[in-house]
Structure 1
Amino acid sequence: ETLNAARDAWKASRVPYQQTEVYRFGNKIVDDWEGKVNSWPLDEGLIDYVAKSYGTESDANALYTANVIANKEIEINGKKVDASKLSPEFLSGTLQGAGGIEANVATGYHAIEFLLWGQDLHGTGPGAGERPYTDYDLKNCTGGNCDRRAEYLKSASDLLVSDIQEMVGNWKEDGAARKALVDGE
């Protein structure tokens, strides 16, 4: 019930965001900010468990299957990193774009989408991910690490709200994005 409510909230918030994308190109303020909330594609294995068909490694990304939800310590560029606290600061400051890899998407709509629906194994066919609610159920946990998955989802959601509030401020009458649009920058 709560997982479905969270999915509904994600869908409801996504529509107004998509309507703003018209301002993305040509407005440096919006384009620079957009990567925090709408980066895609993401290597899902960075965040959580994935199907065996996903594979176990990538020549391009050492964090392809880091699974930060299951691992309280990961290695980024040869250095051990404490991942015991999945805070908004950790997600945005350490994990997002980790190792200089664009596919290491740890924040924003698509990371939250993966946390809510899980991996989409339908290929090009209709359907979506089928993450069970028990991936968040502390008493009947499937997939393991339900507490950390919930912590990650909360941090990513709080960060998304904060990032969107930042852009709201940028579009106010005296905001930088609005000023750039009006001034033709």
Structure 2
Amino acid sequence: MKRAIYLFMSAFVFFSCSSQEQVTNKEVVENYSNIVYANYQDVHTHAIALRKVIISFLENPTESGFAKSKEAWILARKSYGQSEAFRFYGGPIDGENGPEGQINAWPLDEAYIDYVAAENTNVNIINSPEKFPEITTAFIASMNEKGSETNVSSGYHAIEFLLWGQDLSDGPGPVNGRI
């Protein structure tokens, strides 16, 4: 059986690599560009859908809306996660003026946003209405990484915390179906 698999794989590799067709650098770059562009389109589409679902949930909080918000987050995060393969070259997301820090900053100090099990204090953004009477989009953006890179107030990880709560699991890996 091993021999049959080996012979099959050898023939497959030989015949697939023996083509006389040449691929140009231009074709490679165009293909890569198309893949990147399609992924960023998915990221944008899923982020807009996530925003709509969460706004709908906030306007009419129901268990169904909460579940839909989690599902929309998972879909949006998956497509964004795929786009991370195209980072670290000064592109539109992580360039000098790019929005990476507002979208995907990590690690997240959960206590910066809301209460957590290990903390006895409720001094954070949500539990400080006297200090932060109005939580707006501009306010959330302005508080992101203020004073520390772990003071994350915006992006996928902040939304994840607000949807699923504090991660109290032991060890690495996804919890509650999250990525």
Deviation of 1:66 after TM superposition, in Å, equals 3.1
| Equivalence for 1:98 | 146
Query: Segments of 4+ in structure 1 off by > 2 A?
Result: 125-129
Deviation of 1:28 after TM superposition, in Å, equals 4.7
Q: Whose helix proportion is higher, 1 or 2?
A: 2
Deviation of 1:125 after TM superposition, in Å, equals 6.1
d(CA) in 2 for partners of 1:17, 1:7: 15
What letter is aligned with 2:156?
Y
Name structure 2 gaps, 5 residues minimum.
1-63
| Equivalence for 2:165 | 118
d(CA) in 1 for partners of 2:90, 2:120: 39
In structure 2, relative to structure 1, the CA distance for the partners of 1:86 and 1:10 (3 Å cut) is same
| Equivalence for 2:73 | 10
Corresponding position: 1:25 with 2:91: no
TM-score, normalised to structure 1, is 0.54
What letter is aligned with 2:126?
I
Aligned residues: 111
Bigger-Rg structure (1/2): 2
Q: Name the Cα RMSD after superposition.
A: 2.3
Name structure 1 gaps, 5 residues minimum.
58-64, 74-81, 130-185
TM-score, normalised to structure 2, is 0.56
| Equivalence for 2:135 | 86
Corresponding position: 1:71 with 2:119: no
Q: Tell me if structure 2 keeps the 8 A contact 1:120–1:127.
A: no
Deviations 1:126-167 (A, max 9, x none): 6637xxxxxxxxxxxxxxxxxxxxxxxxxxxxxxxxxxxxxx
d(CA) in 2 for partners of 1:110, 1:69: 16
d(CA) in 2 for partners of 1:98, 1:34: 15
In structure 2, relative to structure 1, the CA distance for the partners of 1:125 and 1:19 (3 Å cut) is closer
Q: Whose strand proportion is higher, 1 or 2?
A: 1
